[in-house]
Amino acid sequence: MCGIGLGVVGVAACAYLSRRRRPSDAESTRFPRPPPPQSPSATRRKRGPSWTRRHSALVLSAALCFLALSTALRAWQFTPTPPIDEAAQVARACGCASFACLRSAFATPSSYFKVPHFWIGGGQKCGTTTLYATLARHPQIMAPEPKEPGYFAWPAPARLAAERWYVRDALRLGDACDRGLGKVATFDGTAYYLQWGGPVARALKASAPWAKIVLVFREPVARAMSWLQHMAMKYPAIPSCLHHRPMDCCVQQSWFLSGVHHLGGSKYYKHLKDWIDAGWRVDDDIHVVRFEQMIESPRGFRDAYRAILDFLGLDPGPAANMTRDDTQPANRRSVVPYNVSRRAYEAMVDEVRQDAANLEELLGVDFGWHRYWARQLAQCDRDRLCRVPLLPPPLSVRTL
């Protein structure tokens, strides 16, 4: 306040001094003041001091103006902001049942976790179930119920009708508030949000722009084939190509090559680009994990898990205490390799090869898939049949 007061005084002084000016030419013409006759030498003697006084006044005026403006600027820059009442913000957020209410409650920076804090995905059969179970055991994380609410994939009218259910029940806002929003983070475990592209990306951005995203990417061909087998084995009552035909026949069908939940869902660059276009930023908002790193060894899983916790701003301590059992993949229904012809396998690789190259260029990450495909095709030529493993071993020890 003192700085602002000095600035006001300085500006007032500038205004006062600027009014004490010499008459303009027009005023001198209208009101002439004839000088008294005097000798040229006397005129020269009197003009000297007058000229000095005028310039001294101008210099003083400029100095005061500069002092006033600089003082006012410093006062404006360093005026302390009023303290944020986080307790009131938390109380308001805990009473919310809509995203509009949550956005209003979370409008200012705070030290607590916003709801939802993050989302995990990438695609079905990318290890998201294993990651979900691991995250759910973290003391700072509260898992959603159910694991995959699928809320943001619904049409807008359905989301509006179910908004209270999603915020209060699926994300468990009440339970999180009971434990303290500064202590626990909530998340959504719907794996397929990425494949639904722009509509889901924009809906999530509009509802919870603060959310972090963790994506797990698996080798595209194995992921799609694994999903096809998963559905056939887990839901025998639902018609499936594998109920009547071998894998080699099913993977050559157009619905498999382009389907959003089959091989089309493995075009990660295409889908990720939709999210980037919706305003999500790689590294700042999105963290990418290699599925192969998660399964190659307990150490690889721990390293991937620790990187995720660092990205989410959570305590990385639990990653160091993981056992071998904690790092085993979930939902492993079969370890029998997929047997397909070379023609079928090569067609699948050709379908996703360019998308995988674009993904590596975008992220600056070498997933190693092109090397795996080359080795797999060499095995196909050697044995005249492609035996695609369900969970391939690390590239460093892989022999096909």
Q: Please identify which of the residues 46, 114, 125, 205 carries the catalytic annotation.
A: 125
Residue in the block written with tokens 């307990």: 298
Structure tokens at 270: 């295409």
Structure tokens at 196: 């639904």
Please indicate if the annotation marks 218 as binding a ligand: yes
| Active-site residue flag, 125 | yes
Q: CA 335 to CA 390: how far, in whole Å? A: 6
Q: CA 159 to CA 153: how far, in whole Å? A: 9
Q: Is the separation of the CB atoms in 280 and 212 below 8 Å?
A: no
Q: Is the separation of the CB atoms in 99 and 191 below 8 Å?
A: no
**What residues have CB less than 8 Å from 129, skipping those under 6 apart?**
147, 191, 330, 331
End-to-end CA distance of the chain: 76
Q: What are phi and psi of 121, to 5 degrees?
A: -170, -155
Q: Is the separation of the CB atoms in 227 and 264 below 8 Å?
A: no
For residue 313, CA distances in Å to 28, 92, 182, 204, 372 come to: 74, 23, 12, 20, 34
Please indicate if the annotation marks 98 as binding a ligand: no
Nearest to 132 by CA among 190, 193, 197: 190
Known binding-site positions: 218, 226
So which residues are the catalytic ones?
A: 125
Known binding-site positions for 3'-phosphoadenylyl sulfate: 218, 226
